[in-house]
Amino acid sequence: MTLATGGGEPGASGTPMVLAEALHKRFGRLEVLRGIDLRVARREVVCVIGPSGSGKSTLLRCINHLEKINAGRLWVDGELVGYRQQGGKLYELREREITAKRAEIGMVFQHFNLFPHMTVLENVIEAPIRVKGISKADAIDRARRLLDRAGMADKTEAYPKQLSGGQQQRVAIARALAMDPKLMLFDEPTSALDPELVGDVLAAMRDLATSGMTMIVVTHEMGFAREVGDTLAFMDDGLVVETGRPRDVLANPTQERTRAFLSKVL
């Protein structure tokens, strides 16, 4: 299955940023992903919607090597996820190889998961210093610019508990961006927020999309999906049921399951 990319620049490079073919993931006997096909081009913003338990979060976690896949193939930036292919055989990657790949993929969580024992600034500079090995001065410099862009410049010395949910999530986005990722994964980034705080986080994400970041966003914000997303994927029961331009999918879903879901949430 191939998707036409919307607002991205499909001609920038031939290899897609993410490519999944017949991806399967089981937890014990429970089949969470039952043959996912997905293609995400460079600079493309893909929004994933679907009922809870449909496997959206698991898909993101597979892309970021947080879960091992059971069958099928998954590539990020042209490289297999979790394995190395050599002479027709698959070899599991070592921890160091996996962490190196994770470092190139940013992830934002529903519950922010900021490190509560570190200040905002320490949260943002931790991984660049420890993982990428850049100097503390450079890391602080870069962190300040990112926090400034997120509107958090005056909160660098605060601890996460002293911030609102919206502020915490904007710090979490800055923390992920500090690693200079080539792909950003968002796992329901606004679901744990009070309604009046959702706007700021969505604005930060829109800003990021405009700058050309490749993004996969699991969300319930249909407005965001419609305005910012190049592609909308609807997942149900471990399968991608329907994909297309957000406007088309939301207005004229071709699949009965999509129609049933949208009638409940819109």
Partner 1 sequence: MATPPESQAAGQAAADTAPPEEIHAVPVRHPGRWVAAAIVVVLFAMLVHTLVTNSRFDWSVIWSYFTSARVLRGLQVTILLTVVSMAIGIALGVILAVMRLSANPLLSASSWVYIWFFRGTPVLVQLLVWFNLAFLYPKISIGIPFGPSWLTANANNLITPLAAAILGLGLNEGAYMAEIVRAGILSVEQGQSEAAQALGMSRGQTLRRIILPQAMRVIIPPTGNETISMLKTSSLASVITVTELLYAVQLIYSVNFKTIPLLIVASIWYLIITSVLTAGQYYVERYFARGSARELPLTPWQRVRRYLTTWHATPPAPPLEPQQRDAS
Interface residues with partner 1 (CB under 8 A) are 64, 66, 95-96, 99-100, 102-107, 109, 111, 113-119, 126-127, 130-132, 158-162, 164, 166-167, 175-176, 179, 197, 200
Beta carbon of residue 134, minimum distance to partner 1 (angstroms, whole number): 13
Name which of 157 and 248 has its Cβ closer to partner 1.
Answer: 157
SS3 assignment, position 218: strand
Name which of 154 and 256 has its Cβ closer to partner 1.
Answer: 154
Beta carbon of residue 35, minimum distance to partner 1 (angstroms, whole number): 25
Beta carbon of residue 97, minimum distance to partner 1 (angstroms, whole number): 11
Name which of 2 and 27 has its Cβ closer to partner 1.
Answer: 27
Amino acid at 208: L
Name which of 148 and 248 has its Cβ closer to partner 1.
Answer: 148
CA torsion through residues 137, 142, 148, 150, sign: negative
Q: How far is CA 139 from the centre of its chain?
A: 23
Rg from Cα positions in the chain = 18
Beta carbon of residue 166, minimum distance to partner 1 (angstroms, whole number): 6
Beta carbon of residue 90, minimum distance to partner 1 (angstroms, whole number): 21
C-alpha distances (whole Å) from 261 to each of 25, 171, 249 are: 23, 32, 12
Name which of 95 and 256 has its Cβ closer to partner 1.
Answer: 95
Name which of 44 and 200 has its Cβ closer to partner 1.
Answer: 200
- Cβ distance 101 to 17 under 8 Å? no
- Those residues whose C-beta lies under 8 Å from the C-beta of residue 91, and which sit 6 or more positions away, are 83, 84, 85
C-alpha distances (whole Å) from 216 to each of 29, 32, 114, 205, 207 are: 27, 19, 20, 11, 15
Beta carbon of residue 232, minimum distance to partner 1 (angstroms, whole number): 24
Beta carbon of residue 107, minimum distance to partner 1 (angstroms, whole number): 4
Amino acid at 11: G
Alpha-carbon distance of 66 to 68, in angstroms, equals: 7
Name which of 130 and 259 has its Cβ closer to partner 1.
Answer: 130
Alpha-carbon distance of 252 to 250, in angstroms, equals: 6
Q: Which helix (H) or strand (E) holds 80?
A: strand 79-80
